[in-house]
Amino acid sequence: MVVGEFSQDVDVMVIGAGPGGYVAAIHAAMLGKQVTLIEKGELGGVCLNRGCIPSKALIAAAHRHEMIKHSEDIGFSVQGVHINWDKIQTWKQSVVDKLTSGVGSLLKSRKVQILEGEALFVSPNEIRVFKGYEVQRYRFNHCIIATGSRPVELKAFPFGGRILSSTEALSLQEIPKSLVIIGGGYIGVELGQMFAKFGAKVTVLEGAERILLGFDAEMTRWVERRLKKSGIDVYTNAKAKEAIQQDDQVTVTFETGNETKQVTADYLLVTAGRVPNTENLGLDVAGVKVNDRGLIEVDNQCKTNVPGIYAIGDIVPGPALAHKASYEGKIAAEVIAGHPSIVDYKAIPAVVFSDPGMASVGLDENLAKEKGYEVISGKFPYAANGRALSLHDSEGFVKIVAEKERGIVLGAQIVGPEASNLIAELGLAVEMGATLEDLALTIHAHPTLGEMVMEAAEAALGRATHIVSK
């Protein structure tokens, strides 16, 4: 082992090159800081290489396959559709490679120094970077920890063989004929529907009383109906007990109600959440406080309890979302540069690339009432929107929740096509304190899905044009 005799001095050290870390590095460099970025794997982190991007590429391919196969209603009869899975995987990887290459170019253009290796704190202002047998020491003025998270591994269902995490599922060399999924959250639903559209028989086991528990039940019912229609078996209040692997299959035993059942499939996919990557960093040596969930506690400027050390993304409290990590990375960089920036989580959108898609921002009706608001809401169905009907995809709704007296928009929920894109306008409305009148009086292009935002605002005000008002 070769260790540098002296520590090299750096201004801003960023540990982790995921959507939090690389954005923090770029932003700090844009603000005039000299930045060093450490990454043990690929630029872009899990999101870009093994999560958000590859999964959405496969989901898009699966949706296109389903559209080709089921277009009889609008006059197309297609037979003999062939799936070239190897080519789909190659295309998926090309998308990832383009984006990782782009991240590298952006970092280079900002003169960010990139180090490959693993970081270990040896004091509150010094780390060692390990790469193979080489070790180099660095002393920093500021450090942003952005090490992300990894899939939870259940003791009864260790990853390996035919028991997969989402990482292995996205890189399967074959389309499974059958698949069991433990976990009915957004990852389980997204990947379950994707494989089902490619022809797999999918079974979802969810321990709670319903799937997608973090979303409004009114929204998830649309997804539940589509799951049933597509032949996906969903068991709620289900507890997986054991999995027995054989050479070409795995048998899962689970309890639901008072019954014990078994299901055999090609693979078992475990999507039971994610765990922060905060161990093996030497945080105890640095004096950084970590709670019992492995999360680093930070203030509203992303500062830890140790001066000069910041933490962002999946390793701090709050939803594990890539866009939250990027946002926090910018805030941390600005604070380091001397700006009076603070985090404001009022309008963090949450999106599920299910079918139909789901998105929400701000408060739903129940949460708004719990917080003491007197609320009004307006809902507009996709079925009454001309663009949705012309797309032959008209299931779902746009709902806006507002404070009753002044009409200030508190939140919104969307389930239906392009929900992930439509939520942006409503996120802006929540962020800027817009009112229902603001949305209703904004001229929206016709025919578009975006018109439903205007129509939902009008519905809340009791003057909807294209539906019968209450």
Q: Which of 357, 433, 432, 423 is nearest to 402 (CA)?
A: 433
pTM of the model: 0.94
One-letter amino acid at 188 equals G
State whether 47 and 62 are in the same domain.
yes
State whether 314 and 193 are in the same domain.
no
Number of domains within the chain: 3
Annotated ligand binding at 104? The verdict is no
Annotated ligand binding at 186? The verdict is yes
* Structural domain contains residue 117: yes
* Structural domain contains residue 45: yes
Annotated ligand binding at 189? The verdict is yes
State whether 139 and 44 are in the same domain.
yes
Range of the domain at 382: 350-460
State whether 213 and 188 are in the same domain.
yes
State whether 102 and 35 are in the same domain.
yes
Is there a contact between 142 and 154 (Cβ–Cβ < 8 Å)? no
Q: For residue 452, what is the domain's CATH number?
A: 3.30.390.30
Q: Which of 187, 181, 182 is nearest to 212 (CA)?
A: 187
| pLDDT score at 4 | 53
| pLDDT score at 470 | 64
Annotated ligand binding at 267? The verdict is no
| pLDDT score at 462 | 94
Domain boundary among 251, 272, 293: 272
Domain boundary among 272, 293, 312: 272
Q: How far apart are CA 442 and CA 433, in angstroms?
A: 15
446 is catalytic: yes
State whether 100 and 186 are in the same domain.
no
Annotated ligand binding at 190? The verdict is yes
Q: For residue 195, what is the domain's CATH number?
A: 3.50.50.60
Q: How far apart are CA 168 and CA 271, in angstroms?
A: 12
* Structural domain contains residue 225: yes
Of 70, 339, 392, 446, which one is the catalytic site residue?
446
State whether 60 and 169 are in the same domain.
no
* Structural domain contains residue 468: no
* Structural domain contains residue 157: no
| pLDDT score at 80 | 81
State whether 12 and 147 are in the same domain.
yes
State whether 454 and 359 are in the same domain.
yes
| pLDDT score at 248 | 94
Domain boundary among 217, 240, 272: 272
Annotated ligand binding at 44? The verdict is no
CA 79 distance to own-chain centroid: 35
State whether 137 and 119 are in the same domain.
yes
* Structural domain contains residue 467: no
Annotated ligand binding at 411? The verdict is no
State whether 50 and 136 are in the same domain.
yes
* Structural domain contains residue 378: yes
State whether 204 and 228 are in the same domain.
yes
* Structural domain contains residue 466: no
Annotated ligand binding at 188? The verdict is yes
* Pairing mode of beta strands 178-182, 309-311: unpaired
| pLDDT score at 257 | 87
Annotated ligand binding at 314? The verdict is yes
Nearest-10 crossing angle of helices 451-460, 419-432: 50
Annotated ligand binding at 20? The verdict is no
Q: Along the chain (470 residues), what's the average pLDDT of each consecutive run of 10 residues?
A: 71 98 98 97 94 96 91 86 95 97 97 97 97 94 97 95 96 96 97 97 97 94 96 97 95 94 98 95 97 97 98 97 98 98 96 97 96 97 97 96 97 98 98 98 98 98 88
